[in-house]
Amino acid sequence: MILAVPKLKNDPFLKSQLNQGLGVSITTKTNPNPSQYRGRFAPSPTGPLHAGSLASALGSWLDAKANHGQWLVRIEDIDSPRTIAGADQIILNQLQACGLHWDGEVVWQSQRHALYQNALDCLIENKLVYRCTCSRQTIVQNLEAQGIQIERHGELIYPHTCRHQAIASDASTFAWRLALPESCWIQFDDLKMGHHESNLNQEVGDFVLQRADGLFTYQLAVVVDDAEQGITHIVRGEDLLSNTARQIYLQQILNLTKPTYQHLPVVKNTAGEKLSKQTHAKAINTSSRETILRELNQAAQHLGLRNVATNLSNSISDWLNQAVIAWKIMR
């Protein structure tokens, strides 16, 4: 076990820190050399890599190599109903075929529940979360009763229904929600997208960390994993930018180091939709060196890289070496 739940009950110092809103303290298996860059690619195994996910993988790999860092791969299969059996292995094979080799062992979120439970237990012990038995339908009804307009597919800002009522611990199903403080402004500087400010109360409200079906949410898992793996730099698609403020807030209350963030523009199809399984994005073609170089060239173009040879007689490793140089020049 790597995350250690501290004994806070009789510790006046930690209690006073809590009163100042600092939150719990978690010891993590830190990067053995914290000054060394550690990046990661964290695909969800919902299908094979497509042009969009390849661009994210390449961007994070190039940034790690340009910084003489390590590059880790983590399979984000926490949302088991969405996971496709075998997709993880396909993704790993595609990365290998493209010459994007990772450092260390690949980790699977589905095997790390104890870590997430431990983090949640810290928050429970410190009364920073509460039980919630509301269904989506109840939340909608409560919001409507308060005269709040609900946009279709919009984020439901939780109306605090369960926050002030005690839900018995033996209630058959309940989710754990984070109790946000009254004012919860998060600011951060993204290396690509610039300065960001979020008011979490207005934008997302008290969000769920463990669902009523027992699944830990992406927000909790990703924060615990990045800390436990000693990740210093997160390079990922812009579609995840709106999650960043929530993750930074969780890092703050769990007392974890905040990594540096860089969000890359996402690849869109001709209809302007983000490439994804939902928009029927095609798997990248790794059937030969030429097709792989074509895919890599396309990903490089998307990332805005100049001066990478498009010559299909190159070897993949030569192409990648040139791309690292081009990435350094672009920064």
State the nearest-atom distance from the C-beta of 175 to Zn ion, in Å: 8
Give the shortest CB-211-to-Zn ion separation in angstroms: 12
CB distance 55 to 254 below 8 Å: no
C-alpha dist (Å) from residue 92 to 11, 67, 276, 302: 46, 23, 18, 22
Helix (H) or strand (E) holding 235: strand 233-237
In what side-by-side order are the strands of the sheet with 194-199? 194-199, 185-190, 260-264, 233-237
Between 78 and 132, name the residue whose CB sits nearer to Zn ion: 132
Taking phi first (over 0 means left), then psi (-120 to 50 degrees means alpha), and beta for anything else, what does residue 89 get?
alpha
Distance in Å, CB of 183 to Zn ion, minimum: 22
Q: Name the burial class of residue 3, with classes exposed (0-12), middle (13-18) and buried (19+) by CB atoms within 10 angstroms of its CB.
A: buried
Q: Which is nearer to Zn ion, 162 or 221 (CB)?
A: 162
Q: Which letter does DSSP use for residue 175 in this model? A: E
Nearer to Zn ion, 160 or 277 (CB): 160
Which is nearer to Zn ion, 84 or 167 (by Cβ)?
167
Alpha-carbon distance values, 162 to 54, 177, 179 (Å): 42, 9, 10
- In the bound state with Zn ion, the residue whose beta carbon lies nearer, of 58 and 134, is 134
Residues at the interface with Zn ion (CB under 5 A): 132, 134, 161-162
Q: How far is the CB of 171 from Zn ion (least distance, A)?
A: 11
Supply the minimum distance, in Å, between the C-beta of residue 295 and Zn ion.
46
Beta-carbon contacts of 137 under 8 Å, excluding residues fewer than 6 positions away, are: none
In angstroms, give the least distance from the CB of 127 to Zn ion: 16
Q: Toward Zn ion, which CB reaches closer, 91 or 134? A: 134
- Residue 217 Cβ, how far from Zn ion at the closest point, in Å? 15
Both tokens of residue 114? 């104890």
Q: Tell me whether residue 20 or residue 137 sits nearer to Zn ion (CB atom).
A: 137
Amino acid (1-letter code) at residue 125:
E
Closest to Zn ion by CB, 62 or 162:
162
Cβ distance 53 to 23 under 8 Å? no
Longest C-alpha distance within the chain, in Å?
A: 67
Whole-number minimum distance, CB 29 to Zn ion, in Å? 35
